[in-house]
Amino acid sequence: MRLVLFGLGWFCVALGVIGIFLPLLPTTPFMILAAGLFARSSPRFERWLLEHPRFGKPLNDWRQQGAISNRAKALAVSMMAVSFLVLWFFSTAPLFVRIGTGVVLAGSASFVLTRPQPKPPSDTRNTESMS
């Protein structure tokens, strides 16, 4: 089972990396899923992902606080809006598919927008005055 979870973790990493370049494919949810899969299959790769210079901070913010940065929120909601507009104006999909997609994207955008902003790391220095 660990091998299956490990393989799925790398599959999610691959999808997340592809999502960096394709605006219709999200990156962060795949990286969050990959971190969860690696947590159950490979602590080494979980640590690698959580310490990654690009993905580490958003993953740790999500894991520790359930938080999404304002920049990530703006990017996510913007991409959802662009995707919906492309679907609406350039697709031959039936009306119910376009409306259904709009409802799902609106719900997803609402979820993203209602997540808290990450709190800055707490100051761990000793604040007692020295006499």
pLDDT of 23 reads 67
- Record the tokens describing residue 15, joined without a space: 């999808």
Q: What angle do CA 44, 71, 61 make, to 5 degrees?
A: 35
pTM of the model: 0.74
- The CA distance from 26 to 16, in Å, is 7
| Whole-number pLDDT of residue 125 | 52
Give the helix ranges, DSSP H, for the chain.
2-21, 28-41, 43-50, 56-65, 70-90, 95-113
Q: What is the predicted pLDDT for the residue at 131?
A: 46
Residues 100 and 70 sit within 8 Å (Cβ to Cβ): no
- Per-residue model confidence (pLDDT) at position 101: 93
The token pair that represents 59 in the structure block: 């993953």
Check residue 25 and give its pLDDT. 74
CB atoms within 10 A of CB 27: 22
Rg (alpha carbons) of the chain, rounded to whole number:
19
**pLDDT mean values, one per 10 residues, the chain (131 residues):** 94 91 78 93 94 91 92 88 92 95 93 93 54 46
How many other CB atoms are found less than 10 A from the CB of residue 55? 21
